[in-house]
Chain A
């Protein structure tokens, strides 16, 4: 049974329910912890690590760790800010992200985090690995150069029988996202749009619909990512 418990984030008194994940409990208290793979109420993947916080002094992923009574969470410390910035930079060098030419620009969580953490030049050398673009299915472009392996599509986009449309292929440096050819042939309009929406970057794009929302009117064009949560309790 869930009970109310108290905890702190960077000294701020917060309240949450037992069993609630740190990232969700923080959001309910108006504290933004950045995420790329997390989606509320979906089984967490814990794959992007950008939500790394310190719980009672230990590094933990806020999207997989439940709050405990009286725990003390560090979130906006210089150390953690630098780690998050490094992860954003790392994602920019290991994939191929060219924002100006991307349909997702302005709606992209990775790009928005780049701005939030004021990334200028990545500290890591660019990998320039070339990856494929898969345009075989009728409704979706799979632009593998932009995939950040968050697993949202794998976890969330399924058919009535619970079969996944998306799956990983390979492992480690050869890891790539793949779309099940057979299932994709009969993918519904709604599911295709949903897949594009949940993708935090521009890896999953709906074919035939381009720039429906003009630049300037997109999610992060005028407000930084996370401001919806941070404005909650103002």
Chain B
């Protein structure tokens, strides 16, 4: 073990900055990062064990005890639950004879949950040793477990692959792309290198100017003007970095998965154009570990680009040097926040930084850094290729261009749709074949729960802004239990905890929602929940805490009647349950634990 760990540390440059890669390699090799391994890594890197543990214990996929030979991570997001996750969980537990959270005594299989793995259009889905299994059912679980018993490699447990590059020899995945609608920006015709060639034919200022004129805004959800971000960064003195945020973690979104599979070169081309525009030499794609199955493929695309001289030294003979590496995460939603993503890339806990300074001033390695979403880079390629005017013709006055929507939940045609900004929710529901809809969750848990009375609202930055997650909630669902509680549990799990209001109020609000569901709440509890959520929103450091009360806010606001039907209209109701409190002693003396008959 010692030699192996030393060689892993050495092959990663023997620097604490690559701690993520080191820990990932150790976890994959030994199925855990044991205390012994932590100790070795610490002494090899010259840092304290406490420091190694800080990073290790932050991420979901690093474990202290070995996971099973087959490590099952079941997605427990709302759409997975809506698609029958509990049946699948039950079957896994029956077959393996263990509960979720446990490893079988023979070490064959471990069962655990994980947050959304970006497969909301084909749930219930799970990762088994980082191979994706979609549309699981009791029958499929039985077969998978039989294969495990027989010792089959995970990759050979299935032979039908998904469409497009999912069937590529380097991917061989059962994942389907489910592209339902393509517009000419991200999912239309694409010829590799055209945009870059055009960019390199002009000066860097004109590239930024073109992107600025297109009014392109960040596609991750925050909507910051992309051209402005590039401009700010280009004005800094030091050599900047380009980073691509492929940590698509907002439950219900999976559109970046499609771009990573079908428009891989386009993403890198966009990063290279950005690098040219701001004067960078190096780019980093931060890829969530849930998409580990794309690793070999993505790296091959980088190789291809290098061999075509679209990446590397003296790109297209224009004297511009730029290269890209892939950095994997290890399971933490908060790393989608750009400064947390930088911390993680530096080998640390993914805790958001304080601002100022902004990443464009001091980002990765304390150098100016732009971080854009996968879709933003793809859009930039087409903007350069076809011009800002062409782009601005698409969309609305205030939201130019197209948006990829990841649509899932109760509809006939879940998948990815590239649409022009400005589509109404009603039009969207018709497009996906959704009937009897109770609500649409726009932009994931941190977004808005939209009721039918507002279905005429537009999907646009000026009305309903979105990073692309759209979860359709049918009339038969229990909105509070299936959606709101699930989302609050998610935030409670994913808060990094380093700013204590987010750490604590998500817990408090989750418990309050649970009380409403259990019929233990009174009317004034609703106002309290809103007031407490306000405090979290106003005092939290990053977007997670500032938006994580939204499931509570937007449902209390839009579904007040539902809440009021579930709470008691009294002044006070004690939480103290005397029957429960005396149950144990009553059992000893053989008396029924009932004070009030």
Which residues of A are at the interface with B, using a C-beta cutoff of 8 A? 44-49, 52, 59, 61, 64-66, 83, 86-87, 90-91, 93-94, 123-125, 127, 148-149, 151, 159, 161, 163-175, 178-183
Contacts and interface: CB of A to CB of B under 8 A. Distances in A.
Nearest to B47: A163
Contact of B499 (A49, A159, A178): A49
A155 to B, nearest CB: 12
Given A52-B539, A66-B356, A90-B504, A125 B53 contact: no
A90 B54 contact: no
Given A168-B54, A172-B494, A124 B532 contact: yes
Contacts of B505: 90
B94 interface: no
B354 interface: yes
A125 B511 contact: yes
B501 A163 contact: no
A146 to B, nearest CB: 13
Nearest to B54: A167
Name, among A91, A93, A94, A171, the residue most crowded by chain B CB atoms within 10 Å (CB to CB).
A171
A179 B51 CA distance: 10
Contacts of A124: 508, 532
Given A46-B541, A49-B541, A161-B46, A173 B507 contact: yes
B503 A172 contact: yes
Contacts of B332: 171
Contacts of B496: 171-172
B65 to A, nearest CB: 15
Contact of B500 (A48, A64, A171, A174): A48
B492 A49 contact: no
B386 interface: no
Nearest to B59: A171
B48 interface: yes
A90 B497 contact: no
Interface string B503-544: 111111001000000000000000010001001001111000
B50 interface: yes
A151 B503 contact: no
A173 B538 contact: no
A44 B354 contact: yes
Contact of B51 (A83, A94, A148, A167): A167
B50 A166 contact: yes
B53 A59 contact: no
B535 A83 contact: yes
14 contacts: A45-B498, A86-B532, A87-B500, A87-B501, A91-B504, A94-B503, A94-B507, A94-B508, A125-B508, A165-B48, A167-B51, A172-B495, A173-B493, A183-B50
A163 B52 CA distance: 11
B50 A178 contact: yes
B575 interface: yes
B268 to A, nearest CB: 31
A169 B492 contact: no
> Chain B contact residues: over half helix, strand or loop, or mixed?
helix
Nearest to A181: B49
Nearest to A51: B539
Given A66-B356, A165-B50, A168-B54, 7 more contacts: A90-B505, A94-B507, A149-B500, A159-B48, A168-B57, A172-B497, A175-B497
A87 B57 CA distance: 26
B209 to A, nearest CB: 29
A66 B51 CA distance: 29
Interface string B558-584: 000000000000000001000000000
Contacts of A172: 492-497, 503, 506
Contact of B50 (A46, A161, A170, A179): A179
Contacts of A161: 46
Name, among B354, B495, B528, B540, the residue most crowded by chain A CB atoms within 10 Å (CB to CB).
B354
A65 to B, nearest CB: 8
B48 A180 contact: yes
A173 B503 CA distance: 6
Contacts of A167: 48, 50-51, 53-54
Contacts of B540: 49
A90 B493 contact: no
A47 B508 CA distance: 18
Contacts of A173: 492-493, 495, 497, 503, 507
A170 B493 contact: no
A87 B502 CA distance: 11
Contacts of B50: 163-167, 178-180, 183
A91 B500 CA distance: 8
B336 to A, nearest CB: 14
Nearest to A87: B501
Nearest to B538: A59
Nearest to A58: B538
A94 B507 CA distance: 9
A202 B51 CA distance: 23
Contacts of A45: 354, 498
B113 interface: no
Given A49-B540, A171-B496, A149 B503 contact: yes
B229 interface: no
Contacts of A59: 538-539
Contact of B498 (A64, A151, A174): A151
Nearest to A90: B504
Nearest to A129: B507
A171 B539 contact: no
